[in-house]
């Protein structure tokens, strides 16, 4: 970096076109370094914010699990006023088991539709483009 003061440097109007073009690589290099530094600072700030958000979500999830356990205990206690405690615990446990099974089956079905994560439609479009480019088949733009 130059240590000359702004008074020692000629103004842009006093510089020749050749000297301005000669400084272009230095200016572009400085601009790129500045943009990279700005991107690093921005990503660091965003990652810190995301880390705090993830931590808070994990804490909320843990408290939600504890809350669900308290509700289940309350349901067992309330049902034990009518039935024996062991029967009320079995009924509440059975209801929770049915909910778990339904959620697992729905989640498994959703997982199977998303796996493997290959963009099959885009791959087929590229294959059709290659065939059309080679002249091996008709290119159907209506399918895109």
Confidence of residue 1 (pLDDT cuts 50, 70, 90): very low
Which three-class secondary structure state does DSSP give residue 141? helix
pLDDT digits (tens, 9 = 90+) for 72-95: 999 999 999 999 999 999 999 999
**Which tens digits make up the pLDDT trace of 92-132?**
999 999 999 999 999 999 888 877 776 777 778 778 877 87
Return the structure tokens found at 61.
């999830």
Can you give the pTM of this predicted structure?
Answer: 0.52
DSSP conformational letter for 11:
P
What is the rounded CA–CA span in Å between residue 112 and residue 54?
27
Nearest to 91 by CA among 76, 73, 74: 76
């Amino acid at each position: 970096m130059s240590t000359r003061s702004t008074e020692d440097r000629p103004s842009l109007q006093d510089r020749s076109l050749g000297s301005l073009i000669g400084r272009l690589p230095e200016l572009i290099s400085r601009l790129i370094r500045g943009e990279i530094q700005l991107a690093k600072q921005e990503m660091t700030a965003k990652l810190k914010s995301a880390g705090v958000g993830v931590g808070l979500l994990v804490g909320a999830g843990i408290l939600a699990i504890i809350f669900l356990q308290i509700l289940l205990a309350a349901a067992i206690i309330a049902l034990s006023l009518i039935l024996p405690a062991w029967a009320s615990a079995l009924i509440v446990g059975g209801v929770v088991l049915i909910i778990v099974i339904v959620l697992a089956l729905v989640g498994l079905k959703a997982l199977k539709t998303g796996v493997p994560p290959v963009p099959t439609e885009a791959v087929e479009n590229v294959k059709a483009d290659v065939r059309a480019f080679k002249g091996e088949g008709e290119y159907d733009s209506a399918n895109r």
